[in-house]
């Protein structure tokens, strides 16, 4: 199947700093990527839909100035957590749908963010 790579897998940062997480589709083009946040033992909460060449669509309650999303190419989307605080600590997962495929959603490995 298609491969989605997410980097970094783990990051620890100080409160007030910004962290960038990358999501790449390695062997297919993805016009749309999705960013999720997952708390321990909970479900995947959709944060935003990242569209190549246009602005991301954020879900209700997600601060767009806090979670900056850029989808500059058909294979790369980035999520930047700006001015991170301890409550931003979470597991962030991206996913992508193969533009030419059957609609299956492929997930990245996830990024564990810890804000001290």
Residue ranges that bind other proteins, judged by CB under 8 A: 1, 31-32, 34, 41-44, 46, 49, 93, 95, 97, 103-110
Is 32 or 82 the residue whose CB approaches other proteins more closely? Answer: 32
**Whether the bond into 8 is cis, omega within 30 of 0:** yes
Cβ 64 to other proteins shortest distance, Å:
17
In the three-class reduction of DSSP (H, G, I as helix; E, B as strand; rest coil), residue 2 is classed as coil
Place of tokens 């999303």: 69
Least distance (Å) from other proteins to the CB of residue 16?
27
Tokens matching residue 74: 């058909």
Whether the CB-CB separation of 113 and 13 falls below 8 Å is answered with yes
Nearer to other proteins, 34 or 88 (CB): 34
Nearer to other proteins, 8 or 82 (CB): 8
Nearest approach in angstroms of CB 12 to other proteins is 16
Q: How far is the CB of 83 from other proteins (least distance, A)?
A: 27
Q: Is 102 left (phi over 0), alpha (psi -120 to 50) or beta?
A: alpha
Instruction: Specify burial of residue 70 (Cβ count, 10 A radius: 0-12, 13-18, 19+).
Output: middle
Question: Toward other proteins, which CB reaches closer, 14 or 103?
Answer: 103
């Amino acid at each position: 199947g298609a491969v989605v790579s997410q980097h970094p897998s783990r990051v620890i940062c100080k409160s007030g700093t910004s962290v960038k997480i990358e999501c790449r589709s390695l062997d297919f083009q993805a016009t749309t990527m999705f960013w999720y946040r997952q708390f321990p033992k909970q479900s995947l909460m959709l944060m935003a839909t990242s569209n190549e060449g246009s602005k991301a669509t954020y879900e209700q309650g997600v601060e767009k100035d806090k979670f900056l999303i850029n989808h500059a190419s058909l294979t790369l989307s980035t999520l930047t957590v700006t001015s991170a605080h301890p409550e931003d600590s979470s597991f962030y997962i991206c996913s992508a749908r193969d533009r030419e495929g059957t609609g299956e959603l492929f997930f990245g490995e996830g990024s564990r963010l810890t804000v001290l």
